[in-house]
Structure 1
Amino acid sequence: MSKFEEVKEGVIFPIGEKNVAYADYFRGQSYLKNLVADPKINVGVGNVTFEPGCRNNWHIHHDGFQLLLVTGGEGWYQEEGKPAQFLTAGDVIIIHDGIKHWHGAAVDSWFEHLAITAGTPEWLEPVSDESYHQLKK
């Protein structure tokens, strides 16, 4: 049994549907519930839920930023050239324009965050299984 399975019940925000629109940029299953999608403000807010072991590819936000507000479970965030950061509920990550990074669930835990995003993402290579499975809390 995986840790933090209550995350999939949508404790704070609904889990949303399977994230098929971005499935090519994730390893494993994720879910997305758009909470704010107003073109007049040019900032999207989504509740992203990751099954255990799921993570997104390396990516960069151009002409914008991303804020991650962790609401449940355990996961990881890493910027290129820096050690991965272990994340739990209440953690906040600020990702500035042009920073190459990835984020996702721990191997044995569900993980959920709000993603507040502006700009255009550039999706890059997957996080390798080898580097992901070497992460230690």
Structure 2
Amino acid sequence: MPIREITLLAVTIAVIVWIGNGQQSVAAVQSTGTLADFFTGPPPTVVDSDEIGKARVRLTAGARAHWHSHGWGQLLLPEEGRGRFQIRGESLRELVPGEPVFTGGGVMHWHGAAPDESLVMIAVQGGGAEWGEPVSDEVYLGEPSR
């Protein structure tokens, strides 16, 4: 499956999970209708998702995670600012708003804000985390590609 299709599928799943975990208020659903009003066929059923974590985070300039992986993968949705992202063994990439990034389960990676700019992003992940070593300044300060 091409990476674009995987990313779009992951974004769709993340939005359904986000709604299913109470991020959409009852009042919002009541004012616009029910989920059944927006689906052909039976509406989606909210599935228990205690194993899925989500957060909207702000990283200050220079902040970055250590190398890590998630059992089921991780979806990053940059909203504001600029950041950096790298899968072990691949090129350093820039994180920018409007360009989601998905990392598959068990894939070692890191992400953080740019050295000179903060980053706000939504992170959705599942299957816990396995943490590795800190990202060196040499790796972090490399020239990112887009």
Please tell me the TM-score bracket, short chain as reference.
0.5 to 0.7
Between Structure 1 and Structure 2, the one with more strand by share is 1
What SS does structure 1 have at the residue aligned with 2:106?
coil
Instruction: Work out the CA distance in 1 between the residues paired with 2:144 and 2:99.
Output: 18
Partner of 1:88: 96
Mapping of residues 68-83 of structure 1, within 5 Å: 68-83=76-91
1:131 Cα shift?
1.8
Task: Choose 1 or 2 for highest CA Rg.
Answer: 2
1:80 Cα shift?
0.5
Partner of 2:36: none
Q: Which amino acid aligns with 2:55?
A: G
1:120 Cα shift?
1.4
1:40 Cα shift?
2.7
What SS does structure 2 have at the residue aligned with 1:134?
coil
Q: What are the ranges of 5 or more consecutive residues in structure 1 without an aligned counterpart?
A: 1-35
Q: What are the ranges of 5 or more consecutive residues in structure 2 without an aligned counterpart?
A: 1-20, 23-46
After TM superposition, the runs of 4+ consecutive aligned structure 1 residues lying more than 6 A away are none
Instruction: Work out the CA distance in 2 between the residues paired with 1:67 and 1:60.
Output: 12
Select 2:138's aligned residue among 127, 130, 134: 130
The sequence identity of aligned pairs, in percent, is 36
Q: Which amino acid aligns with 1:52?
A: A
Q: Which amino acid aligns with 1:54?
A: A
What SS does structure 2 have at the residue aligned with 1:114?
strand
Mapping of residues 1-137 of structure 1, within 5 Å: 40-41=48-49, 42-62=51-71, 64-136=72-144
Instruction: Work out the CA distance in 2 between the residues paired with 1:55 and 1:74.
Output: 12
Instruction: Work out the CA distance in 2 between the residues paired with 1:56 and 1:90.
Output: 21
> TM-score with structure 2 length normalisation?
0.64
